[in-house]
Structure 1
C-alpha cells in the first residue's frame, strides 16, 4: 500500500515537473519570440536592390536614368493611381488572404512543408505577397533554407513597419511583368500604352497573370498562353466575388489593343548617354561595374535636359521615319567642354549601338575646316588665296602616285578664293590646300584639336576620307568656336557614394586653356564658315530656320552625311547614315542640316543671338573675289573679308580697270549673298 502511495506521489511529482517544464518552455518561447520581434522591429531593413541602383543626374540635379545590370524599366505610382481591377485580380490570383494574415499563410506553409518532406526537396512554396516583396527587394531566388529564413525575417519586418496598403503598393511597383518592365505602371505603358489607372478588367486580368511566368505568359511570346492565364485569373475573381461570371466572360472576349514591342519607349531618358557614362565610369575612372550597378552611386552629369529633348526631337522628326536610317548628334559647350546633348541613334529600343562614338564614318567635306585652319594659322595661305577650280591631276609621294579628285556634279568654278571654296565645298581647292600646307601638318592640327582616329597622309585626306567619330568632330569644331582654345570634353562633374562621400570630382577648368591656334586665326576661320549658310553655301537650305549667327560645314559621301557647326554657346556634330554601309539617297543625304538647325534653334531659344566675338589681331578689308586683291572703285563686287593682321592683301585689283587703279573713295557695296549678321559684323568692325 505504502509502495503504491509512493509510486503515485512520484507520478504526481513527475507530472508537476513536466507541467513546469512545459510552462517554462512556453514562457521561454514567448520571451524568445518577444525578443525576436523586438529585435526585428528595431532593426532596419536592408537597402532594397532597386534603391541601390546608381542614379544619373542632369545638369540641374534631376534624375535622368538609373544604372542596373538588368536595365530595369520602372515607374513608381501610388495605390490610388492603379486600376481597382488590377488590384482585385492580383490579390485574387496571388494572395486571397492578404489583408487577414501576418505576412505568412500558415496553412499553406504547413501544406507545402509536408510536400517538401515527402519529396525531400524544397520544390513547394506558399509565398504571400509580403514574402514575394521581401524576396524581390532584398534577396535572390535561390532555393536554400538560409534564403527562406531571411525571407521570413524580412517579411515579418515589412509587416511590422508598413501598413497592408503600403506593402501592396510596394509590391505592385516592384513585381516583374516581363521584357524589362518592373512595376504595374511600366507594364501598363509597355503592353497597352496607357497608365495603370486606366486599365480595363480584361487588361488587368491579363497583366495580373504575367508575373507567374513573365516569359511563358507574355502576350508577345504566346498570346494563347496569355489568354489562358487571363481566363484563370478571371475565374479566380469570380470565386472571390470581385466580379460576376458575366463580367468575366465579357472581359475575356474583349479585344486587347496590345502595343508592338518595337514601340516601347525607354523609361530612362538619354539612354545612349547613360551607356556612354557607364563606359566612362568603368573604363576611364576605374570604378567597379558592380559598384555602379548596386552601390547607390550618384553621378552628376553635364547633360542639359532642354537641349537633350531638342536633340531627340530633331532626330526623330528628320530621321526616325526612314527604316534602318541611323543618326547621331553630340553637342558640346565650347567654353567649358560640357556635353549638353547626346543622341546615339534613332531608336534605342531597336538599336543600342552608340553612333556618337563610332570611329568608322568618313567625315567628307566637314573635315575641310580643320585643314583650312592649319593653312591660315601657319600663314601659308589667307582667305584671299586663289586656286583654279578645274579637273586636276595631283602628283604625290615623290611623283610616283597621282590623284584626280572631282567636284560634286562636275561643277567647277574657275578662279575662287577660300570663302567660295568652303561655301561650295570645292574639292579641287581643298586638295590644292593640302598640297600647299602638307598632309602631316594637317594631321597634327587635327590631333591638337581632339581627333585621335587614324589618318592617312594622302591627298584624299583633304576630302575627309579618314574615318572619325561625331564626338571627335564636335570636339574639334569647339576649338574654333572657343577662339582657338582647347577644352577637354566633360560629361561627369562629380560622383558620390551611397553615404554622400565624393568618389570623383572633375578638375576645375584650367586658368589658361591650351591655345591650339591664335584667336585671330580661329575667328577668320569662323568668318569663312558662316558663308556655308549664306546664298550659294551648302547649308543655305536651312538658313531660314537659323535666327542667329552660326558657322559650320557640311560633308557628304556615298554612305555618310554630316553637318558640323557651332554658335558661341554650342559645338554640334550631326551624322546620318546606315550601319551596313548602304548608299544614301539624295533626300537622306540632306537630313543632317535640318537636324542641326532644328536642334540649335530649340536648344538656344532662351538665349539671345550673339555675334562671334572679334579678337585682337584681326583686320578687315574689301577685296575683289576674282583676284583676291584689294578692291578698287572699279570692281563690280567688293567683298568685306577679315584677315589675320599682317596677312591682308596689299596690292590693288587691276582686273576691272584700264588705267591706274584707285582705292575705294567711300563705303562700297558688299556682296549681296551675305546675311544680316554679316552686315552687322561689318558695321561693328568698321566701328573698331
Structure 2
C-alpha cells in the first residue's frame, strides 16, 4: 500500500514536471515566435549615424561629400569593394558570418563564462551584424541591457537584409580614423584610390584599423599598423582565403600612403560644390540637413568638361605667384552649368571669382552693344564708321568722352566685321551713340546682367563690372538662337531613404532676342578667330565653328565664347587691383581654345543654325554697298531679309547693276549653302 502511494506521488510529480516543462516550452516557443514576428513586422529604428550628403555628377557618379567639419563618408555597393577587404573583415571580425542569424550562440556562451569568472563584461562576443547594430542604433556602453538590445537588433537586421547587404552596410559605416567613415572614404584618404582597387596589402592594412583607429593608424604609429596587418593576413591564411606566400608578399610590400596634408586634393570641383550648397540653401535645405541628412544631390557637373577646364588653367596660369583665373561653362540649351573653377588653387584660397562682380569685362561687352543696335536696326553688318581719334559729346552736350584704341592703332573707314575682329573702340562707341546707351543697358539686363549699369558712352567699352557667370549667361543666349534658359546646377535631391525632395523643373526657353539677330552677331563674332582677329593666334587649336570676343583692361584679361553646345567665360587677373602684364593678357585665349577642344572632344563639330529670314550678299568693303561684278574686293555678309544694302557701287553702269543684283543677293536656299560652305571651309582648313 505504501509503495503504491509513493508511486502515485512520484507519477504525479513527473506529470507536473512534464506539464511544467511543456508549458514552459510552449510559452518559450510562443514568446520566441512572438518576438520574431514582432521584429519581422516592426521597422528598424532611425539610424543614429549622421550621414553626410553626397554630390553626384550628371551621370550619377560621386563627386564630393558635403561634410561637416573633417568628416568624410561615402557609400559604395558591395561589388565596388575589393574582395580582400571583404575576406579580411570576415576573417578578423566574424568567421561564422555566413552561418549565423545575427547572433553567435557559441560565442555568447564562451564570453558569458569569461565574464562570470571575472564578474565583468570584459569579454565580447559581438558578431559583425551586432557591431553594425551597435554602430547604427546604440551607444557603446558595456551593459547587459545594451547587449540584449544589440542582439535583438542584429536579429532584425538579418530579417530585413541579406548577408551581402549587411556586409555592405557595415563596411560603409565602420570608422577608419581621421574622420573617415566607410571603406571608400578610408581608401581615398589613405591611398588616393577607390575601394575596388585596393591590393591585398592595402586591404589588410585598412581592415585592421577599426579595432583601434588611433592605435592602428599608419599615419600615427606604423609599427602598430604593421603588426595589426600581419594579424589580418594570418587570419586570412587560416581560412584558406590566401596562401602563406601571398601573406608574406603583402606584409613585405612597401605601401604608398597619401600625405595627411593632401586630403583637400580629394575634392572634385570644390568651387562648384560650394556654389551648389548655396543653391540648396536657397531651395530651403538647411546647412544642418546637408551636413547630416545623407542627401544625394544630382547635379549638372560634367566630369570631362570640368577636367578640361582644370587642365587648361593649370597649363596656362603659373602655379607660383598671385595671378588668378576663373572659368565657367554653361550648356546654352538647358542652362546646365557643366564646369566651374573659381581660382587656380582652392586649398589656399576659396574665393569664387566666377561670381566676382568687381571685374570690368572690357571689349567682351561690345557684342551686347552691337546686339542692341542690330535689334533696333541702328546698324547692319555693312554699317561703316571711321576708326580714328574721336570726341563724343553726351549729357546734352555738357560732357565729352574721348576713347582711344589699344596701342593707338586705328583702321580708317571700317565695317562691323572688322570692328569686332580687331576690337575697335571707336566703332563700338559710335554704335552706342547711334542706338542709345539706355537701349544697351536694357539689352544687357535682358541677357541676365543686372549690375546697375549706367547709360554712359564708356559702357560700350565694358567699364562697368560684370561677373564671369553673367557674361557666360549672356553669351549663352547668342549660342541658343536668342533663347534664354536660366542656369542651373541642381537636377534633383533625394533623402537618405531615396525619397525625392526636389526635382528641377523642365528648362524653359525665353526668346529674348530674335534668332536672326543672334545669328548675325554670331556670324560676325566668328571673325575674332580668323585672320586679323584678336583670337586668331589660337585658331589652329580650335577645330570647330566657334564665336567669341576677347577683352582686356589694365587689370583683366577676358575671353567669352561659345559653340552650339557650350558657352564659356574665362577671366585672368589679380585679386587686389594689380595690373596685368602683356603676357598675362595673352593667357585667357589659349585657356579657352584648349578647354573648348578637350571639353567637346567627343562631340562632332556643328555649325551654328541659320534662321530662315537670313540672306547673304557680297558687300564692297570700301563703300559698304552691294559689290558689283567688277569690284576688286568682295566680302560676304549676312543680313536680316530686307535690311541688306540696296545701293550698288556707283562705278558700274546699269547693266552691271542689274547683273550684280541677280548675282550678289543670293536666294534664301543659296545663301544658306554659301554660309554653310564658309563655315565648313573655315573648319576644314584649320
Question: Separation in 1 of the partners of 2:345 and 2:20?
Answer: 72
Map of 2:589 onto structure 1: 593
Offset at 1:258? Answer: 1.6
The verdict on how the C-alpha distance between 1:193 and 1:581 changes in structure 2, with shifts beyond 3 A counting, is farther
1:115–1:124 Cα contact (<8 Å) kept: no
Which residue of the other structure, out of 281, 302, 307, is the alignment partner of 1:312?
A: 307
Map of 1:461 onto structure 2: 459
Match of 1:280, SS state, is: helix
Question: Separation in 2 of the partners of 1:401 and 1:126?
Answer: 89
Question: Separation in 1 of the partners of 2:300 and 2:234?
Answer: 55
Question: Separation in 1 of the partners of 2:578 and 2:116?
Answer: 64
Offset at 1:594? Answer: 3.8
Match of 2:637, SS state, is: strand
Offset at 1:494? Answer: 6.1
Deviation digits for residues 647-669 of structure 1 (CA, Å, limit 9, x no counterpart): 44455567xx799997596669x
The verdict on how the C-alpha distance between 1:312 and 1:629 changes in structure 2, with shifts beyond 3 A counting, is same
Question: Separation in 1 of the partners of 2:96 and 2:67?
Answer: 35
Is structure 2 residue 328 aligned with structure 1 residue 329? yes
Map of 1:531 onto structure 2: 527
Map of 2:669 onto structure 1: none
Map of 1:191 onto structure 2: 190
Is structure 2 residue 432 aligned with structure 1 residue 431? no
1:566–1:572 Cα contact (<8 Å) kept: yes
The verdict on how the C-alpha distance between 1:227 and 1:366 changes in structure 2, with shifts beyond 3 A counting, is same
Question: Separation in 1 of the partners of 2:386 and 2:643?
Answer: 21
Offset at 1:574? Answer: 3.4
The verdict on how the C-alpha distance between 1:183 and 1:440 changes in structure 2, with shifts beyond 3 A counting, is same
Is structure 2 residue 152 aligned with structure 1 residue 157? no
Offset at 1:230? Answer: 0.5
Deviation digits for residues 381-434 of structure 1 (CA, Å, limit 9, x no counterpart): 333333343445555556666655443344333333322121112233323333
Question: Separation in 2 of the partners of 1:472 and 1:609?
Answer: 25
Spell out the pairing of 1:371-450 with structure 2 (5 A cutoff): 371-392=369-390, 394=392, 396-397=394-395, 403-450=401-448
Map of 1:568 onto structure 2: 564
Is structure 2 residue 74 aligned with structure 1 residue 73? yes
2:309–2:341 Cα contact (<8 Å) kept: no
The verdict on how the C-alpha distance between 1:682 and 1:360 changes in structure 2, with shifts beyond 3 A counting, is closer
Question: Separation in 1 of the partners of 2:267 and 2:90?
Answer: 27
Offset at 1:77? Answer: 4.0
The verdict on how the C-alpha distance between 1:390 and 1:132 changes in structure 2, with shifts beyond 3 A counting, is farther
Map of 1:480 onto structure 2: 478
Offset at 1:44? Answer: 4.9
The verdict on how the C-alpha distance between 1:50 and 1:566 changes in structure 2, with shifts beyond 3 A counting, is farther
Question: Separation in 1 of the partners of 2:176 and 2:204?
Answer: 13
Deviation digits for residues 472-523 of structure 1 (CA, Å, limit 9, x no counterpart): 222212322333333333555666775767855615746xx43x33333223
Spell out the pairing of 1:469-618 with structure 2 (5 A cutoff): 469-491=467-489, 504=503, 506-507=505-506, 509=508, 513-514=510-511, 516-577=512-573, 584=580, 586=582, 589-601=585-597, 602-603=599-600, 605-607=602-604, 609-616=606-613, 618=615
Match of 1:415, SS state, is: strand
Spell out the pairing of 1:85-234 with structure 2 (5 A cutoff): 87-88=87-88, 92=92, 102-103=102-103, 106=108, 128-136=127-135, 138-139=136-137, 151-160=150-159, 167-178=166-177, 181-194=180-193, 196=195, 199=198, 203-211=202-210, 223=219, 225-234=220-229
Which residue of the other structure, out of 359, 363, 371, is the alignment partner of 1:361?
A: 359
Offset at 1:62? Answer: 4.2
105-114 or 35-44, which deviates more:
105-114
Deviation digits for residues 209-268 of structure 1 (CA, Å, limit 9, x no counterpart): 44356578655xxx3x23143144146458869599999999777543223467669889
Offset at 1:613? Answer: 0.7
The verdict on how the C-alpha distance between 1:255 and 1:485 changes in structure 2, with shifts beyond 3 A counting, is closer
237-246 or 318-327, which deviates more:
237-246
Question: Separation in 1 of the partners of 2:532 and 2:196?
Answer: 56
245-254 or 387-396, which deviates more:
245-254
Match of 2:545, SS state, is: coil
Is structure 2 residue 636 aligned with structure 1 residue 640? yes
Deviation digits for residues 329-385 of structure 1 (CA, Å, limit 9, x no counterpart): 322234xx3316223346667766555444343322211101111122223333333
1:443–1:455 Cα contact (<8 Å) kept: yes
Q: Structure 1: which 5+ runs fail to align?
A: 1-12, 669-675
2:615–2:641 Cα contact (<8 Å) kept: yes
The verdict on how the C-alpha distance between 1:681 and 1:420 changes in structure 2, with shifts beyond 3 A counting, is same
Map of 1:451 onto structure 2: 449
The verdict on how the C-alpha distance between 1:411 and 1:249 changes in structure 2, with shifts beyond 3 A counting, is same
Map of 1:622 onto structure 2: 619
Deviation digits for residues 83-103 of structure 1 (CA, Å, limit 9, x no counterpart): 26x8437854x6688678754
Deviation digits for residues 9-47 of structure 1 (CA, Å, limit 9, x no counterpart): xxxx99999999899678645643442233224545468
The verdict on how the C-alpha distance between 1:448 and 1:677 changes in structure 2, with shifts beyond 3 A counting, is same
The verdict on how the C-alpha distance between 1:462 and 1:183 changes in structure 2, with shifts beyond 3 A counting, is same
Match of 1:78, SS state, is: helix
Question: Separation in 1 of the partners of 2:208 and 2:627?
Answer: 82
The verdict on how the C-alpha distance between 1:589 and 1:190 changes in structure 2, with shifts beyond 3 A counting, is farther
The verdict on how the C-alpha distance between 1:280 and 1:322 changes in structure 2, with shifts beyond 3 A counting, is same
Q: How much is the aligned-residue C-alpha RMSD, in angstroms? A: 5.2
The verdict on how the C-alpha distance between 1:202 and 1:295 changes in structure 2, with shifts beyond 3 A counting, is closer
Match of 2:549, SS state, is: strand
Match of 1:319, SS state, is: helix
Is structure 2 residue 35 aligned with structure 1 residue 36? yes
Deviation digits for residues 635-687 of structure 1 (CA, Å, limit 9, x no counterpart): 54222223345544455567xx799997596669xxxxxxx985825999xxx
Provide TM-score, normalisation by structure 2: 0.74
Q: Structure 2: which 5+ runs fail to align?
A: 1-11, 665-672, 682-686
The verdict on how the C-alpha distance between 1:213 and 1:383 changes in structure 2, with shifts beyond 3 A counting, is farther
Deviation digits for residues 552-608 of structure 1 (CA, Å, limit 9, x no counterpart): 112233544333223334433334455566655555544443444445445274445
Question: Separation in 2 of the partners of 1:459 and 1:442?
Answer: 10
Deviation digits for residues 139-181 of structure 1 (CA, Å, limit 9, x no counterpart): 3768698987754432232345566666445423432335665
